[in-house]
Structure 1
């Protein structure tokens, strides 16, 4: 039975009850009884049908308890009670459905933002088509006020885009040629032409909706326990009701006991909180992949960060090129041609610098080899290049002269990463690359500590000097540098073995093994990279650390809300049952209180939809907490 049919039956039952009251006042008692029985049957049929379906699945449902109680009430001639109970049960179910819709409002808002049409250029002709008909490679035109229907790169034009649907950020982002745009975003101002790279269900926006839907459907440990508990609890109540009757010989008290013991509020106490919490995260650009993840995130006491792209902006720049026995421009060209095979952000930074200087990178690298955590090896123009850190130079048997080492250390102490480049076994230069700390990093880390994180650690493959500089500026508890991916995994495993609950935040690519090892893996990737959206437990769509602090405080608030609901549900049932046994609570009044408790549980969960993290603690107070005595 759908929601419309339920609402109609509820309305009809309510009218019959109102009419029965009118007939009672005017003295038409026989007609009153007929209307009450009619109301009971009308409202009782859908309840009994649900109970029968549950029994076929070998499940004891709440509807079964209500059906037994209603049949019993009819049998003993308590028509007012039977009509009132069926009406209140259906009316409660209707209100639950309406209020539960609000807990999914964030997902509904996302779905409503999905684009329906796109303007494409095919064979020189401009046409408007359904988004389902857009193909990869199509040139899509988006004007001011229009929604982007695909993922792709801008080929002409520039614009400011509202990317709130993807990142949760309300401040428009400026986009120009070669920048990526995502489906579901809106052009605030400007005109762009985009080549479609992902269409339909493959777009970032479509996958966000899918992930949020899956997360809201998945169950937390608490929900699974409550489901198992309900399956045992319901038949136990039937047995207890029989015992109540055997001891009291009071059929009305027995039926009231049966109805009041329904675990309605208890069963939904956890799911509504989880759904509302996940919805809140989605609205703020945070994808939390399920109730189990939410509970684990709330228990985190240690956060481990990668440096580049996580604590820093992830937009490094070449700050200096120190060439030895070779022209700077030629060194940059050779290194950039070799680094074209690398997916590492530092390698791509060198390629970007070469292109910005107008250098043509024509030579394809040969005999290429990526040495994880150390660098690359490649042959260009017959020259053997090794490009990377000191460990790579040592492995290649290349001596670093004292003056070159001193230069590199000075650059590192100034906050740079020193990249050594050798040609045919001899050092040919040092390229300095610097990346700035994220502007929101300090506040985000303070908020994490204020929310209950005990220690914050940085694990990085970068050099010790740069790592220590970043650690000092951010007041980190521990800094470990010059680590390989397997070293990071070992460090996280060690933390877990000593009893810590660990969250690992990285870029979702180089740190994938460490992210997978941690209790909670968190990926930062603007627009959601493929690997981050698939492997991480939590994804920050806007690539901002303050989203992590929001996610952590949201998880704590969600678990707290879930506990409040469970306590309230159990407490209400216990008080009502005590009232029944003492003869103070009756069938209709008890059912009304029971349904109100269900609604209060849902309304409490709805508060999470509007949840925002607490204001940052004042800097001077936190400095007292963080600085050693």
Structure 2
């Protein structure tokens, strides 16, 4: 059996993430073909996306045949399926979003569609059965304005050597970059602003309430014609019922019977019975609830939309000695841009010149500005900026401090970290949580059931000793009581508020499901390197021997190691210089690397060896003493990597380096226990002794070392069976398989890393472990609010239905209780936007 790998980008260009339907289609199509035993995804490091891995039998099928089958399948999918992300204006509340979604589902050839409560549509369609124009036509049929259209992934771009742009951009004419007039039916397109602008619905509701109050007051004046207060009630009906009627008619025209229709029928029924005051009260409170739902959705929408304002619109491009202002869309990789003090950085890149402190809070959530400095060699070819220290890397949308910077662009505007975050937050809005799926399904059957019940109650006079008017009035009261307005808004308002609040703190939560799951966790599994530790070695011990001083030993070590490119050597030289910054170093020469063992150099005429114990076991007959070796073993038992230093024939000391625990690790683990995580496990490929040494410093007790990636997956599966809800926290690259098998995958330090952003369900944008308790605390708060809202909304309905059927409650009290519960759940959900990060 042999294996071959093919870049995901090559077969399915620019897909949003590995969860895309086309990936599953590719695997399902090719796996099991004659000679192909298995097809799966492998996640690579750095900036690379995943690869398809094909296990095939060369005796049955050739490598070229496997490659051709894969290429043909990819080409078929790219030609067949289109993907769009559409941003709408005027989606007013969850019920409106559901009507739009159901309307779009009727398009033949639409394979997937989801409409968020903030107006983002995610859809996939079969190009052989429908097209973008048909989608836009249906959207326009709802009277909606399209703000932006983007391909979720470019199925026409960069396939088989082609490089075609397929990103939709609105040019102000109502057309996208392909000339598709997606607002072609503009005369039909209307917004929800009205004569009072965006607040028209709220103003109409207030006018309705004022007219109702005046009419009700006038009704107590004796001798006054009853038609005068009734006239005010009629006017109240108009202002309170204007948007209700509009939306009810819109829903009915699409074959939907929504809550607006129920309320309208109840209000008309009250009027027919002469209960104009109660009907006007119903419309006033319902329209007020509508307006506040709209307000809640708009608030969450604005909080998320604020991300798009982070990146500047222009950049100062340096060409030779000239600097000119250009739109950020014109920036190309390797361009040089200038960033003035106190301005926003226009692109992801590396600092070539200048020093400054940069506020990265908009991207990573870090509250303290981060010092940035130029790389040592501006002429070096840097293909992966992630390999550089964070002090050299900057992100689009972050805010420069007092110094001027010269930056080399590493990503185009459309691929920048902030652009990817914006795109993923938009996509997250279209993903429904388990609770939302339940409430949608509940309403789907509940509303028709209510209509049937109300129709039957209208004829209760046939079996009860009462008039038709009494039966009809009771039916209308039940209709009001049973309308699940609060239920419709309870979950999406909480999810959107939670996602928006998390994004503001530098935590990207990709939808309602991860938000709810995060709040249910009882166990966490941590990768060690780069998650619980700093991810880079540090000089931890300097142990001189044979009468030499610490300073003298450090001078020798730093002088030699400064000439090596090995990561350990760089760490030793860096930290050694930091300890004795003003000491003049001797000059080393004739450096020779001894592969896998150490380094040799000439220093002031003496031969210096620095290396591991294996080097000196095979070098010559001069061996370290037993006491010397005892010290070496003690250091290694504590998790250190030890380097022995020998000058000619004398062993003059040893140094130790270690990937040290993060400063905030211990405090973070304590905070996690306080928020209810009772089991925390460290998983690492390092040996058990090193893992235990780190664990003892940070206070984690469950340690498993020496694990291969597949062994990590088995451990995750085992813990998940024991704990049910488990999260894996890693760098989003090497730990991708373990993340995929956990309840929630959480990526550390995802800013700038394409793979980390795509792999995890939740991304901690800053390299800050202490964001984890905040994220879990926020999720628990959101989950609690969702439960509260469900209890409130379903409890009110469950209480009011029998009370109105029995005639105990009339329309008036039912309206107040019903609409009151809607207002309660709206404001309860908005509390998440003010959630405090106490960590």
Q: TM-score range with shorter-chain normalisation?
A: 0.7 to 0.9
Cα 1:405–1:219 shift into 2, 3 Å: farther
**What residue is the counterpart of 1:568 in the other structure?**
792
Distance 2:295 2:720 in 1: 43
Cα 1:105–1:52 shift into 2, 3 Å: closer
Distance 1:613 1:125 in 2: 45
Residue pairs, 1:322-361, within 5 angstroms: 336=565
**What residue is the counterpart of 2:396 in the other structure?**
183
Counterpart of 1:128 in 2: which secondary structure?
strand
1:148-191, Cα deviation, whole Å (9 max, x unpaired): 11110011001011111011111111110130111111112211
Counterpart of 1:10 (choices 205, 228, 233) is 205
Q: CA deviation at 1:194?
A: 0.7
Contact 2:425 2:508 in 1 (8 A): yes
Counterpart of 1:207 in 2: which secondary structure?
helix
**What residue is the counterpart of 2:510 in the other structure?**
289
Contact 1:504 1:520 in 2 (8 A): yes
Counterpart of 2:346 (choices 135, 149, 153) is 149
Counterpart of 2:336 (choices 136, 139, 142) is 139
Distance 1:305 1:314 in 2: 13
Counterpart of 1:202 (choices 415, 424, 427) is 415
Counterpart of 2:492 (choices 271, 276, 288) is 271
Pairing 1:503–2:503 present: no
Contact 1:20 1:35 in 2 (8 A): yes
Q: CA deviation at 1:335?
A: 8.1
Cα 1:125–1:482 shift into 2, 3 Å: same
**What residue is the counterpart of 1:460 in the other structure?**
684
1:363-419, Cα deviation, whole Å (9 max, x unpaired): 9xxxx9xxxxxx99xxxxxxxxxxx999xxxxxxxxxx9999978644422432469
Distance 2:690 2:276 in 1: 80
Pairing 1:527–2:527 present: no
Cα 1:417–1:59 shift into 2, 3 Å: farther
Cα 1:103–1:501 shift into 2, 3 Å: same
Pairing 1:593–2:593 present: no
**What residue is the counterpart of 2:778 in the other structure?**
554
Contact 1:153 1:180 in 2 (8 A): yes
Q: Using the TM superposition, name which of 73-82 and 281-290 deviates more.
A: 73-82
Residue pairs, 1:154-165, within 5 angstroms: 154-165=351-362
Distance 1:516 1:350 in 2: 36
Counterpart of 1:209 in 2: which secondary structure?
helix
Cα 1:191–1:238 shift into 2, 3 Å: same
Q: Using the TM superposition, name which of 67-76 and 201-210 deviates more.
A: 67-76
Distance 1:417 1:292 in 2: 42
Distance 1:185 1:209 in 2: 14
Counterpart of 1:155 in 2: which secondary structure?
strand
Q: CA deviation at 1:210?
A: 2.1
Counterpart of 2:640 (choices 398, 416, 422) is 416
Distance 2:736 2:577 in 1: 29
Q: Which runs of 5+ in 1 are unaligned?
A: 340-344, 369-374, 377-387, 391-400, 421-429, 616-629
Counterpart of 1:198 in 2: which secondary structure?
coil
**What residue is the counterpart of 1:302 in the other structure?**
523
Q: TM-score, normalised by structure 1?
A: 0.80
Cα 1:190–1:38 shift into 2, 3 Å: same
**What residue is the counterpart of 2:75 in the other structure?**
none
Q: CA deviation at 1:66?
A: 1.1
Pairing 1:96–2:320 present: no
Distance 1:525 1:216 in 2: 22
Q: Using the TM superposition, name which of 605-614 and 448-457 deviates more.
A: 605-614
Contact 1:321 1:328 in 2 (8 A): no
Cα 1:512–1:351 shift into 2, 3 Å: farther
Q: CA deviation at 1:60?
A: 2.6
Aligned length: 568
The structure with more helix, counted as a fraction of residues: 1
Pairing 1:214–2:427 present: yes
Distance 1:82 1:506 in 2: 58
Counterpart of 2:345 in 1: which secondary structure?
coil
Contact 1:256 1:590 in 2 (8 A): yes
Q: CA deviation at 1:110?
A: 2.8
Residue pairs, 1:464-543, within 5 angstroms: 464-525=688-749, 527-543=751-767
Greater relative contact order (Cα 8 A, min sep 6): structure 1 or 2? Answer: 1
**What residue is the counterpart of 1:262 in the other structure?**
483
Q: CA deviation at 1:458?
A: 0.8
Q: Using the TM superposition, name which of 493-502 and 204-213 deviates more.
A: 493-502
1:225-284, Cα deviation, whole Å (9 max, x unpaired): 000001111111112223333335421221121012110111211111111111221122
1:526-553, Cα deviation, whole Å (9 max, x unpaired): 5241111100111111111111111112
Distance 2:837 2:830 in 1: 16
* CA RMSD between the two structures: 3.8
Distance 1:572 1:37 in 2: 29
Distance 2:497 2:830 in 1: 6
Contact 2:561 2:569 in 1 (8 A): no
**What residue is the counterpart of 1:69 in the other structure?**
266
Contact 1:100 1:602 in 2 (8 A): no
Counterpart of 1:184 in 2: which secondary structure?
coil
Q: CA deviation at 1:351?
A: 11
Contact 2:354 2:406 in 1 (8 A): yes
Contact 1:409 1:465 in 2 (8 A): no
Distance 1:62 1:452 in 2: 39
Q: CA deviation at 1:97?
A: 1.4
Distance 1:543 1:597 in 2: 41
Cα 1:494–1:575 shift into 2, 3 Å: closer
Q: Using the TM superposition, name which of 79-88 and 594-603 deviates more.
A: 79-88
Q: CA deviation at 1:448?
A: 1.1
Pairing 1:170–2:367 present: yes
